[in-house]
């Protein structure tokens, strides 16, 4: 892990898309089929390469399995950082269906809540995309219902579940945009952070963010 990833990252130090555009890190897309630009969205949506367990936001998303009892990758990292209280609470939830999500307290993490989203094991776009979209819709609704103003998202299903990273990033961004602009509760989220851990994740999000 990079040394800088071990430091807590407050929300005020996570760059918005507006800031990324001004710094030249992000450039407008040359594609013709992208949605119209929105200043509000550019000020709401953020991207950072960091360890999601070190982000000081209201809620972070865990790419969980159906048992909700921990696993490898980001799931294991979140459980280790949160401490035994998280596993104890997860044992009371009776698991979670693929395509859905459940919320818990965060225990020793610097956030307030953990939203455990169970993405699909990738088989095909036709079978897996509806479940991944459902994950994002559910976790965003849970965040608002529980009073969260800021949320950090990880790449759901892109690890051992095999969902192609670029396609998953595209789905995540489109679902977030739809939630923020088309739902009655979308205005209640003030910051949505896409958190990339490795360079592969960064390479998936940067072309899609515009």
The span from the CA of 93 to the CA of 90, in Å, is 5
Mean pLDDT, rounded, for 19-45: 85
Residue 54 near residue 80, CB atoms below 8 Å = no
The span from the CA of 151 to the CA of 185, in Å, is 14
The span from the CA of 180 to the CA of 177, in Å, is 5
Domain boundaries of the chain, sorted by first residue? 38-205
Of 23-37, 137-151, 161-175, the poorest mean pLDDT is in 23-37
Mean pLDDT, rounded, for 149-158: 97
Mean pLDDT, rounded, for 74-81: 97
Q: In CATH, what class is 38-205?
A: alpha beta
Closest CA to 170 of 120, 133, 118, 126: 133
User: How many CB atoms lie under 10 A from the CB of residue 69?
Assistant: 15
pLDDT at 119: 98
User: How many CB atoms lie under 10 A from the CB of residue 82?
Assistant: 24
pLDDT at 31: 64
Mean pLDDT, rounded, for 117-126: 96
Task: Say if residue 142's pLDDT is above 70.
Answer: yes
* 113 contact partners, CB below 8 Å, separation of at least 6: 58, 59, 60, 103, 104, 105, 106, 143, 146, 148
């Amino acid at each position: 892990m990079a040394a800088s990833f071990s430091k807590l990252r407050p929300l005020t130090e996570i760059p918005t898309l507006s800031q990324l555009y001004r710094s030249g890190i992000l450039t407008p897309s040359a594609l013709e089929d992208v949605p119209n630009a929105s200043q509000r969205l550019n000020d709401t949506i953020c991207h950072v390469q960091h360890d999601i367990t070190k982000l000081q936001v209201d809620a972070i998303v865990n790419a969980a399995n159906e048992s909700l009892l921990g696993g490898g990758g980001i799931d294991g990292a979140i459980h280790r950082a949160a401490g035994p209280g998280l596993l104890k609470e997860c044992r009371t939830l009776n698991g979670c269906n693929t395509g859905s999500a459940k919320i818990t307290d965060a225990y020793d993490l610097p956030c307030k809540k953990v939203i455990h989203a169970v993405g699909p094991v990738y088989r095909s776009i036709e079978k897996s995309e509806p479940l991944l979209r459902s994950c994002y819709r559910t976790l965003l609704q849970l965040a608002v219902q529980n009073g969260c103003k800021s949320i950090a998202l990880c790449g759901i299903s892109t690890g051992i579940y095999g969902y192609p990273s670029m396609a998953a990033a595209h789905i995540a961004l489109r679902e977030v945009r739809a939630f923020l602009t088309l739902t009655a509760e979308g205005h209640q989220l003030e910051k949505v952070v896409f958190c990339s851990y490795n360079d592969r994740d960064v390479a998936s999000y940067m072309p899609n963010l515009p």
